[in-house]
A = this chain, B = another copy of it.
Amino acid sequence: MGASYTIAMDRSVIALLLFPALAAAQSNPAAQAARKWRQGHERAIVNEFVTLLAVPNVSNDRPNIQRNADLIAKMLEARGLAPRLVSVPSGNPVVITDIRTPGATRTIGLYAHYDGQPLDPKEWASAPFEPTLRNRPVEEGGTPIALPSAGTPFNPEWRLYARGAGDDKAPIVAMLTALDAIRAAGVRMKSNIRLAFEGEEEAGSPNLESTIAANKTLFAADLWLICDGPVYQNRQQSLIFGARGSMTFDVTTYGARTELHSGHYGNWAPNPALELARLLASMKDRDGRVVIPGFYDQVEPLGPLERKAIAGAPAIDAQLMRDFWLGATDESPKGLYELLTQPSLNIRGMASSRVGAQASNVIPSTAFATLDIRLVKGMDLARTEQVVREYIRKQGFYVVDREPTADERRMHANVAKVVFAERGGTVARRTPMLLPIAQDVIRTAESARGPVVKLPTMGATVPLEAFERPLGATTIIVPIANHDDNQHTFNENLRIQNLWDGIELMAALLTM
């Protein structure tokens, strides 16, 4: 253990020389304690993480969701805590627990979710629920390697591959490890702490708000820190003060009742794939800006602190374009973080008949697309749905929200079935950066991790309203995963250094 400790110290010294900002990380005693503890327990920490990742966690897989919740409860109990599993009928359990601090005058909640996105195992380089350590990202030829033996340090650039590695089981392990470290070092806590772990965030948190509303005393807190999502793309710590909302819809266009032979009927029978292409293509201009009338009408302008924060965020577009093999971005020269304060309209997927070797010489009978809209502060779900429906109508489609009848198809040149996801989606939330508790979180995070990037909103959707509406709580998003973690797609992973950094950050936040 002596040898490995020396190596880790050397690495830390080099980091301090190269990045003076990191010196600030030493000023927070809980973060210092967390680093020491981690350096002495790397293998044990990763073991606990691997055990958690090995439990399949797609939110509609009820038996495995229960196994996740039970395992997390055991992890909490092992720390002497008294977790409870709370849920509403047909909801997945939220694991919640308290850490009381005598004399505390405020309560801080830390949230993460243990469920993960649906997946197709065939697309993964290794089985999604057999956590696999790799020496490099799989896209760079990373190969599986064995976990180092206890006492041998992990290379912090190694990555652990599994569904949920980045999104969002890492914060759970980071919080519990931070707690171990604080206690071992005897660092004093100042606030009451609540930890809550949800099991259906990737399904859109359909029951989180009602679960909280039904258990207000369990969840009451001044501040909920939503520990989810990735840190800044230059790997700098970030804090995010809001999240875009989200709504999804499906569009189906119709040709003939059955697929027709493309020779016998080609250039006579209308092609629904072409109709769909026309409709989708018409929704944005060449720059990528949505041209649906009224789409941007409700967008609430940013305040001065928020505008300053965006202007101050490190430029990362060029690096991201290189990483992602992109030759252009939408609405250039606007940068990513400016654009994320605007709503988006995105085609998630498109399908009509078959393609490539499976294609046959037909005119498709239907064409199908799934889209999502990311809403920003001020935008209303019902109004947004209305402008989209109205736009599709204006494009000449007879719009229905269920399967059109034969006669409806005969009577209208263009028919579109437009179905918005039943629950109506999630609105955007944004916490003003000038709130005192927001300023306190910024100071604490910077004492542990050096200067942080402050963003008015994240692009993705997290269930902030579930805490804000029933509890009146303030929410701030605290990410720890790497941005290149392939969350929501195949080969999801966590970069080991992000787990180490996350432990230090959680230690600081638990003791603020």
Contact = CB atoms under 8 A, between A and B. Distances in A.
B277 A276 contact: yes
A323 B265 CA distance: 13
B339 A347 contact: no
Contact of A325 (B118, B261, B409): B409
Interface string A344-362: 1111111111111011111
Interface centre among A265, A353, A460, A491 (most CB of B within 10 A): A265
A414 B342 contact: no
A420 B363 CA distance: 19
Give chain A's interface secondary structure class: mixed
Nearest to A289: B267
Contacts of A280: 273-274, 277, 281
A260 B357 CA distance: 26
Given A118-B358, A355-B250, A288 B263 contact: no
Interface residues on A, range: 35 or more
* Integer count of this chain's copies in the complex: 2
A374 interface: yes
Nearest to A260: B324
A267 to B, nearest CB: 3
Contacts of A345: 267
Interface stretch (A28-36, A144-152, A327-335, A379-387): A327-335
A79 interface: no
A170 to B, nearest CB: 16
Interface string A253-269: 01111111111111111
Interface in A110-138: 117-118
Contact of A268 (B266, B271, B336): B336
A268 B338 CA distance: 9
Interface stretch (A183-191, A306-314, A481-489): A481-489
Given A259-B488, A356-B368, 19 more contacts: A255-B326, A261-B489, A263-B461, A264-B340, A264-B483, A265-B336, A266-B344, A266-B459, A267-B339, A267-B374, A270-B330, A277-B347, A277-B350, A325-B410, A327-B410, A349-B353, A349-B354, A349-B358, A349-B364
29 contacts: A246-B263, A258-B486, A259-B489, A260-B324, A262-B344, A262-B346, A265-B336, A267-B342, A268-B336, A268-B459, A270-B330, A271-B346, A277-B277, A277-B278, A277-B280, A325-B409, A326-B409, A326-B410, A347-B352, A348-B364, A351-B352, A351-B354, A354-B370, A355-B368, A355-B370, A359-B370, A360-B488, A360-B489, A362-B488
Please name the 7 residue pairs, one residue from A and one from B, whose CB atoms are nearest each other, closest first: A263-B460, A328-B413, A267-B344, A266-B344, A349-B353, A256-B324, A359-B370
